[in-house]
């Protein structure tokens, strides 16, 4: 039967496009299926396999079939609290923890729960702003500068807060950062925390990459502003389990009412994260010498590959902050503007389009992270390699050989992509 009524979409979703990261992944796959060599530097998921003992725990709990509490399995919440104390030095207990189907979904329910405007440094990860848009919340983009490593400055936050002091605000601060690949140090977080406290801003510290800070030991915003900071993390990045869909929020006691509201939203929407995944996650968060080794080696590989790509890009005249954690760089091709203009390229979207078509290299345009469309910034994720093999190779070398040799042997597509990119930029 044909529907005769004209059904309209809600205004807040009518203009929504699929997430840019998922789109580039689909596009790269289509080109690869058509026989084109594609360098997949657009999509950013962990290259590493889930640690064996965590996979075994999932097997062992495959028969768990009951619905679990909306806040999460108590034993898992205890394990997350223990992990947060151990890795970040924050005082917390199981009661402060909420488990969700990915931290992305928890962020969506947080924005739904709060009657607040969203403050976002530009650039920021792709999904924060669309979530605010769907929920019809106002977003204020906060300017940053490349010379400050694209980091939010306390004075900028102060100005944004002073402009509408009566309005409740949620600031999302992500470090190590996607898309930039650098982080904030203790002094920088402290300066931001002082401003946030002065204006009563709630801060969501998105620390999903903190375990893969290349040097380890990432400090938390919550250490400087415990009463107003919610810490976001999960299994996706440090444990290689993005597809398992498990995210964690840790709340201060002062914001327990927000957790309660989010548990209410959970009970009316996703109910709870899948039971076998929650049981398996206990093993991941309790940790072991095996998972410690896995994290140590993951960091070592990411640091080596990140430094290599950074050095190669610098030699091409590309500017960007040095990598400090996670698996991204935020190259700016501004110095190539005259040559690119000859190809009719004046912004990041056209740049990425031409690069993918002409070389098979997939990057994401800076525009989708909130940068002005005319800027020539892009996000590059350096994870197009066999993570399992790279972990093994890094285990065999207590001191990794020079980055170049390691990358050439273990991440050949990344190595080749740098040659291809240099040749493309040199064409003019
Ligand atoms: C900065 C950042 N935050 C949050 C997420 C969401 O992670 P998940 O929903 O898998 O926990 C991602 C994933 O790409 C991310 O890069």
pLDDT tens digits, residue range 281-327? 999 999 999 999 999 999 999 999 999 999 999 999 999 999 999 99
Residue 425 CA to ligand 1 center (angstroms) comes to 31
The per-residue pLDDT for 269 is: 96
Indicate whether 30 pLDDT > 80: yes
370 CB under 6 A from ligand 1? no
The per-residue pLDDT for 3 is: 67
CB atoms closer than 10 angstroms to residue 375: 18
207 CB under 6 A from ligand 1? no
Residue 338 CA to ligand 1 center (angstroms) comes to 36
Closest CA to 38 of 349, 423, 361: 361
Mutate to test the pocket of ligand 1, among 24, 103, 239 (most ligand atoms within 8 A of CB): 103
Highest mean pLDDT among 42-46, 86-90, 397-401: 86-90
Quickly state the pLDDT bin for 24 (edges 50, 70, 90): confident
Residue 104 CA to ligand 1 center (angstroms) comes to 6
The per-residue pLDDT for 423 is: 97
Quickly state the pLDDT bin for 428 (edges 50, 70, 90): low
Asked if CATH classification 3.30.420.40 holds for the domain at 52-287, the reply, yes or no, is no
Closest CA to 205 of 182, 194, 189: 189
The per-residue pLDDT for 217 is: 77
178 CB under 6 A from ligand 1? yes
Condensed to tens digits (0 to 9), the pLDDT of residues 335-352 reads 999 999 999 999 999 999
Mean pLDDT along residues 139-165: 97
How does the average pLDDT of the chain come out, rounded? 94
Residue the block writes with tokens 């650039």: 123
Residue 51's contacts (CB-CB under 8 Å, 6 or more residues apart) are 239, 240, 284, 290, 291, 294
Condensed to tens digits (0 to 9), the pLDDT of residues 170-207 reads 999 999 999 999 999 999 999 999 999 999 999 999 99
Residue 161 CA to ligand 1 center (angstroms) comes to 26
Residue 38 CA to ligand 1 center (angstroms) comes to 24
Residue 139 CA to ligand 1 center (angstroms) comes to 19
Q: Which two tokens stand for residue 219?
A: 């400090």
The per-residue pLDDT for 71 is: 97
Residue 115 CA to ligand 1 center (angstroms) comes to 23
CA distance 237 to 239: 6
Domain 18-44+290-425 has what CATH class?
A: alpha beta
247 CB under 6 A from ligand 1? yes
The per-residue pLDDT for 399 is: 64
Quickly state the pLDDT bin for 20 (edges 50, 70, 90): low
Per-domain residue ranges of the chain: 18-44+290-425, 52-287
233 CB under 6 A from ligand 1? no
Quickly state the pLDDT bin for 396 (edges 50, 70, 90): confident
Mutate to test the pocket of ligand 1, among 178, 213, 364 (most ligand atoms within 8 A of CB): 178
Collapsing DSSP to helix, strand or coil, 96 comes out as helix
The per-residue pLDDT for 27 is: 81
Q: Identify whether the C-beta of residue 382 lies closer than 8 Å to the C-beta of residue 305.
A: yes
Residue nearest (by alpha carbon) to ligand 1 atom 5: 104
Closest atom of ligand 1 to CA, residue 242: 10
Mutate to test the pocket of ligand 1, among 237, 244, 248, 370 (most ligand atoms within 8 A of CB): 237
174 CB under 6 A from ligand 1? yes
Closest atom of ligand 1 to CA, residue 106: 9
Residue 256 CA to ligand 1 center (angstroms) comes to 23
Residue 380's contacts (CB-CB under 8 Å, 6 or more residues apart) are 41, 309, 313, 328, 329, 330, 331, 363
Closest atom of ligand 1 to CA, residue 326: 16
Mutate to test the pocket of ligand 1, among 104, 130, 131, 370 (most ligand atoms within 8 A of CB): 104
236 CB under 6 A from ligand 1? yes
């Amino acid at each position: 039967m044909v529907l005769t009524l004209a059904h309209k979409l809600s205004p807040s979703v009518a203009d929504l496009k699929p997430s840019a990261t998922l789109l580039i992944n689909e596009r790269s796959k289509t080109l690869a299926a058509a026989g084109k060599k594609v360098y997949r530097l657009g999509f950013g998921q962990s290259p590493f396999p889930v640690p064996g003992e965590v996979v075994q725990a999932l097997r062992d709990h495959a028969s768990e079939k009951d619905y679990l509490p909306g806040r999460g399995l108590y034993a898992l919440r205890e394990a997350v609290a223990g992990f947060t104390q151990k890795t970040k030095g924050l005082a917390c207990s199981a009661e402060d923890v909420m488990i969700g189907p990915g931290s992305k979904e928890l962020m969506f329910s947080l924005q739904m729960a709060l009657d607040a405007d969203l403050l976002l440094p530009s650039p920021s990860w792709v999904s924060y702003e669309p979530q605010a848009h769907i929920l019809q919340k106002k977003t204020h983009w906060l300017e940053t500068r490349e010379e400050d490593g694209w980091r939010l400055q306390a004075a900028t936050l102060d100005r944004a807060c002073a402009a509408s002091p009566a309005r409740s605000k949620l600031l999302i601060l992500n470090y190590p950062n996607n898309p930039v690949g650098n982080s904030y140090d203790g002094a920088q977080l402290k300066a931001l925390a002082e401003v946030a406290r002065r204006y009563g801003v709630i801060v969501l510290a998105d620390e999903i990459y903190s375990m893969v800070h290349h040097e380890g030991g990432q400090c938390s915003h919550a250490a400087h502003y415990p009463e107003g900071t919610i810490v976001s993390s999960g299994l996706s990045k440090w444990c290689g389990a993005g597809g398992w869909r498990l995210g964690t929020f840790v709340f201060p006691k002062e914001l327990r009412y927000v957790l309660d509201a989010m548990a209410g939203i959970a009970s009316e929407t996703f109910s709870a994260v899948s039971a076998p995944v929650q049981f398996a996650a206990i093993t991941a968060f309790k940790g072991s010498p095996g998972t410690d080794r896995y994290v140590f080696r993951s960091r070592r590989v990411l640091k080596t590959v990140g430094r290599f790509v950074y050095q190669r890009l610098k030699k091409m005249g590309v500017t960007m902050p040095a990598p400090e954690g996670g698996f991204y760089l935020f190259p700016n091709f501004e110095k190539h503007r005259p040559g690119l203009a000859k190809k009719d390229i004046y912004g990041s979207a056209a740049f990425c389009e031409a690069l993918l078509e002409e070389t098979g290299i997939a990057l994401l345009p800076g525009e989708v992270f909130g940068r002005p469309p005319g800027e020539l910034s892009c996000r590059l994720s350096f994870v197009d390699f066999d993570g399992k093999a790279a972990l093994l190779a890094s285990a065999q070398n207590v001191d990794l050989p020079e980055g170049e040799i390691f990358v050439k042997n273990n991440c050949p597509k990344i190595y080749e992509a740098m040659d291809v990119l240099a040749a493309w930029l040199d064409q003019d």
